[in-house]
Structure 1
């Protein structure tokens, strides 16, 4: 059996680096606190784990085989992320009652990952690159799903905690406007990367 260390490194780097999910976790932590952000963290983690498992089973190859399906996922995902970015950018302080009035739910967090082309690319790439770590597609699906799910949970908890720390520095409505505009801009920038 080949060493699992390269897979661990790949999974950790791909889940901890800034992107759409980490930006949402940070914004949610800043606006709603850690405990109210747990459904988002779990939804994104479950979504990524299930994508990795599907890629391990070989079904992720459908996106590579059918460019029109890939374009549809990319367009839907980009539209959803742009809508979220707009909501974040136009929200005020958590007590202002505008913008993100409620944290993102578990289901919407999961949907976010299912519509994120970057997530598909990362999980399909992992399945192709590390297929030799498992003797069957089912075992590869379990390995990838577990690793991506756990790593995403840990990474998003870290980013959410950063958001909670940021919220303690934000004292005025102007501070909140600035951070929410920055979070919205970062989320929008993460969309641009998927269209390259």
Structure 2
């Protein structure tokens, strides 16, 4: 069980689309929109968990075409989020302040994020500690995952909000937002590279 908890911790805390976008939304839009976005990610995360546990994800991801569609949707949405974060608060005349992605944006990111399915599949099919009682093990895993997931995402949100609240010049805030957006683009580039790697 401790090995499972450690795996959850390291898989969640490392920079990925969820935590990077959480920090970006916090920095660009503040606590209220950031909290709503984390709420959406939380709902989406548990929907993905339910899909993996039920076996539906395995059937869907077994089809190369559906997996490719999910991947392309995920990349497109991450690019869209990165643009929103990078352009938030920009004073360029023809760019209006973007609205934060909100609750539905968080749900959408998790549902189309192939990494979320891969992580959940790894965690729910491995790290067995109650092999004679699969139901209890699954419930305990869900509780452990959420107990770790929630504080980590709020820690990233807090970090993003603190960056946004620092008494820094507008230009520096824009640079921070662009830096977070570029970090998300790096995640996209790594995902594309992994997808194109020959099996």
Give the TM-score normalised by structure 1. Answer: 0.85
* Aligned-partner SS, 2:168: coil
Partners of 2:87 and 2:178 within 8 A in 1: yes
Partners of 1:49 and 1:148 within 8 A in 2: no
Cα distance in structure 2, aligned partners of 1:93 and 1:135? 57
Cα distance in structure 2, aligned partners of 1:120 and 1:185? 24
Partners of 2:5 and 2:145 within 8 A in 1: no
- Pair 1:12 & 2:44 matched: no
Match of 1:160 among 150, 157, 160: 157
* Aligned-partner SS, 1:130: coil
1:1-30 Cα shifts (integer Å, max 9, x gaps): xxx111111111111111111111111221
1:110-163 Cα shifts (integer Å, max 9, x gaps): 110111111111111112213553656654543343333332221110001101
Q: 1:170 offset after TM fit, Å?
A: 4.8
- Pair 1:183 & 2:180 matched: yes
- Pair 1:55 & 2:55 matched: no
- Pair 1:45 & 2:77 matched: no
Shift in CA distance, 99/41, structure 1 to aligned 2, threshold 3 Å: farther
Q: 1:81 offset after TM fit, Å?
A: 0.7
Give 5+ residue unaligned stretches, structure 2.
Answer: 195-199
Cα distance in structure 1, aligned partners of 2:105 and 2:86? 18
Q: Output aligned runs, 1:65-144, within 5 Å.
A: 65-92=62-89, 101-131=98-128, 133=130, 135=132, 138-144=135-141
Give the TM-score normalised by structure 2. Answer: 0.84
1:54-110 Cα shifts (integer Å, max 9, x gaps): 21232221244222211111011111111111121222369x995653332212101
Q: Give the root-mean-square deviation of aligned CA atoms.
A: 2.5
1:29-74 Cα shifts (integer Å, max 9, x gaps): 2122223311111111221122123212322212442222111110
The farther-off stretch of 64-73 and 114-123 is 64-73
Give 5+ residue unaligned stretches, structure 1.
Answer: none
Shift in CA distance, 134/92, structure 1 to aligned 2, threshold 3 Å: farther
